[in-house]
Amino acid sequence: MSKEQRATVDALLRSTSIDASRTPDELRADFAAMMAGSPSPLGVSLTPSALGGRPALEIAPEAEAIDGTILYFHGGSWVFGSPATAQHITAALVRRTGARAVSLDYRLAPEHPFPAAIDDGVAAYRDLLEHRVPPERIVLAGDSAGGGLSILTVLASRDAGLPRPAGVVAFSPGLDATRSGESMTTKDGIDPLFTRQSLQRLGAHYLAGQDPRQPLLSPAVHADLAGLPPLLLQAGSNEVLLDDSTRLATRAAAAGVDVILDVTADVPHVFQSFTGSLDEADAALDRAGRFILDRLATTPAAL
């Protein structure tokens, strides 16, 4: 793995770090502009779609697709981002698995605070089921806030009595709105993107004054995790959100959940988005693709 590549990524992120003091509209414009410079992903088709009453982007392999669906949730601290800004990382999973992905344009804060995004995630999953996509042929995935949303959608779907999907893949998920993990301190300054303070400021748009000590806001420390499907949690060792993944993995394993905690050294938040320019990103996506294929091949329907 390339030390030079990691240094280049770190420098790039420090030069374009997210300014949490900007308004939501400014954050959305800045992030969209930052992500718009890359060419369209290769080897896939992009088709506007809808799911659960929300717009969506369907990403399908140009080659023959396998019988499986990835329900994807983009990142953006619950405030910004879209299926378009996540299309490269979503397409990377589609190319590696041959499964189609449907990337959901869930509602954003502050216009739509907690639990609007979770409601949209559950509605999208329910829509797939109602269109006769078997739960054992569905994997939920996402990055950052979307990684958290993939797990929160499964928790809320479980509580609603829906069948569980085949598995969940979460890249650098946000899983603790209390910001109480030790990595908030130990990775301060090492993380090129976030600090505890910037995350608290961004998170306030989504919290809208609500107590963060709720299961669907801080599942890493407060949720009952029993009955979840197999989980793959990928994180970088340089991110302040690292302990969101480590603590959820520990508690999930204690609850009898099949969970893989996959931490890559000396890389930042959602390092998988640097596919094609960071060796660690491609290796991690390879592992995520194998996890998805293994789950789609082996998971029976389960209530």
The yes-or-no answer on residue 183 being catalytic is no
The one catalytic residue among 82, 150, 269, 273: 269
| Sheet containing strand 100-104, strands side by side | 44-51, 54-61, 100-104, 69-73, 138-143, 167-171, 231-236, 259-264
Q: Alpha-carbon Rg of the chain, whole angstroms?
A: 17
Contact indicator for 266, 1 with CB cutoff of 8 Å: no
Counting runs of H as helices and runs of E as strands, what totals does the chain give?
10, 8
Query: HSE-up of 45 (CA within 13 Å, CB side)?
Result: 10
Which listed residue (239, 245, 273, 280) is catalytic?
A: 239
Amino acid in position 19: D
Indicate if 77 belongs to the active site.
no
| CA pair distance 147, 281, nearest whole angstrom | 16
Catalytic residue (choose from 144, 198, 218, 273): 144
Pairing of strands 167-171, 231-236: parallel
Annotated catalytic residue 74: no
What whole-number distance in Å separates Cα of residue 199 and Cα of residue 216? 17
| Spatial separation of the C-alpha atoms in residues 90 and 107, rounded to whole Å | 19
The tokens describing 7, both together, are: 């240094």
User: In a 3-state reduction of DSSP, which class is residue 208?
Assistant: coil
Distance CA 211, CA 218 (A): 10
Measuring CA to CA, which residue among 88, 81, 136, 133 is closest to residue 104? Answer: 81
- Catalytic residue positions, numbered: 144, 239, 269
